[in-house]
Amino acid sequence: MKIATASQMAELDRVTVHTYGIPALVLMENAGRSCTDRIFRILEEKVGAPQEASVAVVCGKGNNGGDGMVIARHLHNRGVYVEVFLLGEVDDLSADARTQHEIIRRMDVEVRVIRDGEGVEDLRSYLEEVHLCVDAILGTGLSSPLAGIVREVVEIINLSMATVFAVDIPSGIDATTGRILGEAIRADYTGTFGLLKLGHVLLPGSIHCGETEIYDIGIPSRAVFDAEIKTEALDEQTVKSMLSVRPPDFHKGDAGRVYIVGGSPGMTGAPCLAGLAALRMGAGLITVVTPASLRPIVEAKQMEVMCTGVEDGGTGHFSAEMIPAVLEAISKADVVVVGPGLGLTDATPKFMKELIPRIRVPFLLDADALNALAGQVHVLQSAAAPCIVTPHPGEMSRMTRESIESIEASRIDSARHLAEEEKVTVILKGARTVVATPKGDIFINTTGNPYMASGGMGDALTGMIAALASQGLSPNDAACAGVFLHGMSADLLVREHPMTPVTAGDVIANIRGALQHTLGEIPPEE
């Protein structure tokens, strides 16, 4: 599912009108009618008979306000009592919004102009009586914080008890970054047009959107294709297309061999968790490669995952001198993981620098394998095989020397820059995990929840991705499917047990449920 920035959407609108010749008024009509259909269904659910409902439509001066006036007209035609509150003088309306205003004026739809505090109070009073309020104040072009009467109106709508339906995107959200510009409408429902915008998906904007639907308003599919939008949202349909059915003669060798290089004193659980996740995700053979002094501990923790020890002189840590033995240990691998429980010593950076260019199969770096790249991230360019890195913002900061605040403020750009610069697949973890490919494509995960905030989650994700890659998925597809299914597993658990923390072990145990749900074996809840 493609996701557009504000500027990309504006360009699509322009191309639709000027290149394809579809009048803007037609797009506005389609947008308003689509929203009306959804609002009518909402009123049926909440009121029973929509004709007994009352609605406030709050319109700005631009085309978003024009959409709102189309909604008001269609609701009026269906017998719903509607009043329009206009934030600005009629003479200040955009040309298309002025046309829509003239239509509703001739149809005797009640219109009130909010010019000052008195108008704001009129809206406040009316909102005490209505069943639903339509936010058609500002669209996707907003770039500066709300102020003055507009901000007052947004605050009043948020304080009201009315159900709120936002047109295109809740007013006050930056459609490209998801940032709240001073204040923003907290919508129960949002109807958007053509494509999702980044502000619908990224936090904190996504929290304000409520239940979001996308409406086809007539933008030609060829125009979307030609726009070469490189950002997508991960959903069930996308991930399902990446997975395949196993043939009848499939055996464990076909399911892939995953080797996990990790473990250090006090952190032997991490590679074991990754191994168990890889097993649950379908890898055929999984081996943990760990310092020989830790091998008895690792073996005691697992039964279905194999283990091999590399002589470490009793230190419990990996060093560059162990690389020949490590390479021998992973020589049969289809996919290699380096990092879970690796630990960080003075020897680790050199170990990683010399190991990365000598791995000959797709590999994934996690945890301290990433921390060891601090100050030497360009070592990734020496990789001879496809590489996936899975940093959280702290690890990303240490790798790139960019502040955590800067990374969080621009997660997409940060992930894309690292992926393109170092020619690796980047999984920037966190709320709305971002997957960036070496070609600059971006995938934003739509699963996961705050109850996953516990140790071991990254190890579980790493194992899942490695298993998918070992079964033939490309590094990019394995990354995308892995992060989606990882979050879906947790989402299903929280749905069953609301507000209950989820452990990495819980997520691993529920991988089967996530797969069944995504593949359609379990119908989604209404």
Average pLDDT over residues 267-291: 97
**Contact, 429 vs 468, CB < 8 A?**
no
Average pLDDT, the chain: 95
**Phi then psi dihedrals of residue 79, to 5 deg:** 95, 10
pTM: 0.91
Measure the N-to-C terminal CA separation of the chain; round to a whole number of Å.
21
Two tokens at 88? 């600005």
**Contact, 294 vs 314, CB < 8 A?**
no
**Contact, 229 vs 2, CB < 8 A?**
yes
**Phi then psi dihedrals of residue 257, to 5 deg:** -115, 120
Beta strands in 297-397 (DSSP E): 306-310, 335-338, 363-365, 387-389
pLDDT-derived band at 1, boundaries 50, 70, 90: confident
Q: What is the 3-state secondary structure (H, E, C) of 353-376?
A: HHHHHHCCCCEEECCHHHHCCCCC
pLDDT of residue 526: 43
Size (the chain), residues: 526
Q: Rounded CA gap, 196 and 208, in Å? A: 14
**Phi then psi dihedrals of residue 432, to 5 deg:** 65, 70
Two tokens at 517? 């749900």
Which conformational region is residue 313 in: left (phi greater than 0), alpha (psi within -120 to 50 degrees), or beta? left
Average pLDDT over residues 87-113: 96
**Contact, 477 vs 242, CB < 8 A?**
yes
Average pLDDT over residues 21-48: 96
Q: How far is CA 141 from the centre of its chain?
A: 21
**Contact, 180 vs 208, CB < 8 A?**
yes
Residue corresponding to tokens 């797969």:
515
Mean pLDDT lowest among 244-258, 274-288, 437-451, 471-485? 244-258
- Give the SS3 label for residue 164: strand
Task: Judge if 3-229 and 238-242+249-519 fold alike in CATH terms.
Answer: no
Q: What is the 3-state secondary structure (H, E, C) of 384-419?
A: CCCEEECCCHHHHHHHHCCCHHHHHHCHHHHHHHHH
Residue 522, pLDDT above cutoff 60 = no
Q: Report the CATH number of the 3-229 domain.
A: 3.40.50.10260
Residue 232, pLDDT above cutoff 80 = yes
Work out whether strand 335-338 and strand 363-365 pair parallel, antiparallel, or are unpaired.
Answer: parallel
Enumerate the domain spans of the chain: 3-229, 238-242+249-519
- Give the SS3 label for residue 425: strand
Q: Rounded CA gap, 195 and 4, in Å? A: 6
Q: How many helices (H) and strands (E) does the chain have?
A: 22, 19
Amino acid at 336: V
Q: Which residues pair with 444 in a beta bridge?
A: 233, 434
- Summarize pLDDT for 416-466 with one digit per residue, the tens: 999 999 999 999 999 999 999 999 999 999 999 999 999 999 999 999 999
Q: Rounded CA gap, 353 and 506, in Å? A: 35
Average pLDDT over residues 482-505: 97
Average pLDDT over residues 13-32: 98
Residue 483, pLDDT above cutoff 90 = yes
**Contact, 257 vs 470, CB < 8 A?**
yes
pLDDT of residue 255: 81
Q: At what angle do helices 457-470 and 269-280 cross, to 10 degrees?
A: 40
Name the CA radius of gyration of the chain, rounded: 27
Closest CA to 239 of 468, 497, 39, 501: 468
**Contact, 425 vs 442, CB < 8 A?**
no
Q: Rounded CA gap, 71 and 57, in Å? A: 8
- Summarize pLDDT for 166-214 with one digit per residue, the tens: 999 999 999 999 999 999 999 999 999 999 999 999 999 999 999 999 9
pLDDT of residue 523: 47
**Phi then psi dihedrals of residue 120, to 5 deg:** -60, -40
- Summarize pLDDT for 322-373 with one digit per residue, the tens: 999 999 999 999 999 999 999 999 999 999 999 999 999 999 999 999 999 9
Residue 247, pLDDT above cutoff 90 = no
The alpha-helical segments, DSSP class H, found in 187-294 are 198-201, 205-209, 221-226, 236-242, 269-280
Q: Report the CATH number of the 238-242+249-519 domain.
A: 3.40.1190.20
Amino acid at 459: D
Distances (CA, A) of 148 to 87, 185, 327, 480: 11, 15, 65, 43
pLDDT-derived band at 244, boundaries 50, 70, 90: confident
Average pLDDT over residues 116-139: 95
pLDDT-derived band at 521, boundaries 50, 70, 90: low
Residue 378, pLDDT above cutoff 70 = yes
Two tokens at 270? 């991490």
Closest CA to 169 of 139, 207, 211, 195: 139
Q: Rounded CA gap, 142 and 137, in Å? A: 10
Residue 143, pLDDT above cutoff 90 = no
pLDDT of residue 249: 82
Average pLDDT over residues 498-509: 97
